[in-house]
Structure 1
Amino acid sequence: MQQIPAVRRRKLGAELRRQRDLAGMTSGEAARRAGWHQSKVSRIETGRSSARPEDVACLLDIYGVRDRELRDLLATLAGKGTQRGWWHDFRDVLPPEYRDFISLETGACRARTMENSVVPGLLQTPAYARALTRSVLPRLGAREVDALVEVRTARQAVLEQDPPLELHALLDEAVLRRNVGGEQVMGAQLRHLAEAARMPRIRLQVLPFAAGGHIGVTGSFVIFSFPLIADLDVVVIDHLTSSLYVDRQEDLRAYSAAFDRLRSHALSYDDSLAFISGIGSGNDSWIGSGNSKGA
């Protein structure tokens, strides 16, 4: 079985322990009912060992958990989604970190993202994604580039699923000014952003250069939230060759607070839409008020 990141093991283990406590059982009693050694339950609950989806199902049966949505979510954390998701077909071109990112994104109910360099993947046009991939990974062949663009496009299905992922994106003005792929590609991308900003489950706000220095300039990040269990939230920070998963509650609170502060510096939803449309039409003279009335 493919290993899942430690952050997901810890999240899964903590929730299984919570369910055991709600059932009024000791780890020893749970282990006896499952026919396991007590150390197996302990290793799963502390995140030291991975749990197979069937192990999770066994424990949830013992604890009397019948909620299908919760069971499916915990099975996904155990690796079910990683094994069976559509992205598994692209495992020859996707590194494990990217596959796990997609797995988290697919299972999340909300994503809050701060981007200071490029358009978020969920909002990229195929032409923009292709140009960006070629620039960032110039050594890739045409087949690999095509596969990565297909993955980027397929990921966007979460915005139309039932229920759709709720996306709140804060975009530094540099994202809109950076000419990726040439004037035609960038113009189409800006128009696509303006269309996305009108969708009910997507909220876009622009952090204009006029806002000055802010915490977002230190790096982009994504906060994923999951249905039913707030403690499963996780922050993902991308680096050149890997991704950092942050799940400590104090860190989650810090990133959530940072996102809220950035919202206060950003343009309102309506002003952000006007700003994006203005750049897309070549009207660079538009300057927003800088408030966040729509936030």
Structure 2
Amino acid sequence: MPNSPMVPTVRRRRLGATLRTFRNKAGLSLDEAAQTMGWNGPKMSKIENAVQAIRPGDLTTLLTTYGVTDPQVHTALETLRQDAQKKGWWQTYSGIVQPPYADYISLESDAQRICAWSPLLVPGLLQTAAYARETITGITTTRTPDEVSALAEVRMARQSVLTRPGFPLELWAIIHEAALHHRFAARPGTMRDQLRRLLDASELPNVTVQIMPLDSTAHPGLVGGFSIATFQPPMPDVVVLENANSSAYVEGEEAVPFTRAYEHIQATALSVEDSLVRITELEEGHRK
């Protein structure tokens, strides 16, 4: 029976993108790089496009060919190569977590820093369980109550990256104020508790929250939400663009415009201090 085709994972795509960057810096074409390895061009293309895995010895040789001698870079990419084969904790929910979502959780778990612009919802890493259940129920149209509960569990489990020992994820979240005015008629305390969660999370040294006010001026974030994941060098930044059915990834140099856009969004939003004041005012309004 033939082997089933390899499914590219976000980790393998990041490895391939990094190798492509080093090849371009070395001034080699696909065919030239492949020739130095005794391969054909299609094999090199498959590795860079995450269709085919690369063996550890070949990775070392390829990096040397590209003039990459930094042992930390070799170690980082070998770790990424190994991790591409591993299963994460989210695989326990394989019947619930679809491949695009699994890719995102993998990326999130590897990231050093995430900058998120969220115009419609509180970011998943800052949600309460009740808010997660309510929003998942509202967004999905085919999930059973048990599946909704499982997805809420996954969302809560993801938040462990904010408090993991040694290297907690740095999160900078900019949330549109409109997202904080949602009403949950059946459970009116949901938003109040969610606002309190934002205030509590903001006390973590690795978490920053800004609010985009309702009366803000025009800014690049008007076209939609996105997240920028930053990793330890030499891995490039990855931008995640989400829609109702899937996620799209933008990597390397193509991510630069999103970084500039995020800086503009930061400058347009309320300051961190004023954002906390606004969240506090909204939370107090729910207690009256």
How far apart, in 2, do the equivalents of 1:283 and 1:93 lie? 34
Relative distance call for 1:27 and 1:196 in structure 2 (3 A) is: same
How far apart, in 2, do the equivalents of 1:128 and 1:95 lie? 21
Contact (CA 8 Å) 1:126, 1:149: kept in 2 or not?
A: yes
Contact (CA 8 Å) 1:85, 1:103: kept in 2 or not?
A: yes
Which residue does 1:237 correspond to in 2? 241
How far apart, in 1, do the equivalents of 2:13 and 2:203 lie? 37
Post-superposition CA distance 1:128-187 (Å, at most 9, x none) = 101111111143212211210111011111111230111111111011111246321111
Which residue does 1:84 correspond to in 2? 87
Q: Give the TM-score normalised by the residue count of structure 1.
A: 0.81
Post-superposition CA distance 1:182-240 (Å, at most 9, x none) = 3211111100000111111011111111214332232111111111125x211111111
* Amino acid in structure 2 at the alignment position of 1:27: A
How far apart, in 2, do the equivalents of 1:134 and 1:259 lie? 30
Counterpart among 27, 33, 36 of residue 27 in structure 1: 33
| Alignment coverage as a number of residue pairs | 270
Q: Secondary structure at the match of 2:241?
A: strand
* Amino acid in structure 1 at the alignment position of 2:56: A
Relative distance call for 1:74 and 1:18 in structure 2 (3 A) is: farther
Are residues 1:4 and 2:33 paired? Answer: no
Which residue does 2:58 correspond to in 1? 59
How far apart, in 1, do the equivalents of 2:116 and 2:55 lie? 30
* Amino acid in structure 1 at the alignment position of 2:195: L
Are residues 1:72 and 2:76 paired? Answer: no
Counterpart among 136, 140, 145 of residue 139 in structure 2: 136
How far apart, in 1, do the equivalents of 2:96 and 2:117 lie? 26
Post-superposition CA distance 1:67-98 (Å, at most 9, x none) = 3334213444xx32xx4111111111111110
Are residues 1:215 and 2:220 paired? Answer: yes
* Amino acid in structure 2 at the alignment position of 1:256: T
Relative distance call for 1:21 and 1:66 in structure 2 (3 A) is: farther
Q: Secondary structure at the match of 1:235?
A: strand
Task: Return the structure number with greater relative CO, CA threshold 8 A, min gap 6.
Answer: 2
Q: Give the TM-score normalised by the residue count of structure 2.
A: 0.83
Which residue does 2:268 correspond to in 1? 265
Are residues 1:42 and 2:44 paired? Answer: yes
Cα deviation, residue 273, structure 1: 0.9
Contact (CA 8 Å) 1:27, 1:38: kept in 2 or not?
A: no
Contact (CA 8 Å) 1:224, 1:234: kept in 2 or not?
A: yes
Deviates more, 1:58-67 or 1:108-117: 58-67
Aligned CA RMSD, in angstroms, stands at: 2.8
Relative distance call for 1:136 and 1:2 in structure 2 (3 A) is: farther
Which residue does 2:205 correspond to in 1? 200
How far apart, in 2, do the equivalents of 1:23 and 1:46 lie? 15
Q: For structure 1, list consecutive stretches of 5 or more residues without a partner in the other structure.
A: 285-295
Contact (CA 8 Å) 1:30, 1:59: kept in 2 or not?
A: no
How far apart, in 2, do the equivalents of 1:59 and 1:24 lie? 19
Which residue does 1:158 correspond to in 2? 161
Relative distance call for 1:150 and 1:138 in structure 2 (3 A) is: same
Q: Secondary structure at the match of 2:161?
A: helix
Contact (CA 8 Å) 2:175, 2:210: kept in 1 or not?
A: yes
Q: For structure 2, list consecutive stretches of 5 or more residues without a partner in the other structure.
A: none
Contact (CA 8 Å) 1:70, 1:228: kept in 2 or not?
A: no
Cα deviation, residue 258, structure 1: 1.0
Contact (CA 8 Å) 2:172, 2:207: kept in 1 or not?
A: yes
Post-superposition CA distance 1:35-70 (Å, at most 9, x none) = xx33365224542x5233xx2423233347753334
* Amino acid in structure 1 at the alignment position of 2:51: S
How far apart, in 2, do the equivalents of 1:229 and 1:254 lie? 19
* Amino acid in structure 2 at the alignment position of 1:57: P
* Amino acid in structure 2 at the alignment position of 1:225: T
Contact (CA 8 Å) 1:9, 1:44: kept in 2 or not?
A: no
Which residue does 1:290 correspond to in 2? none
* Amino acid in structure 1 at the alignment position of 2:248: L
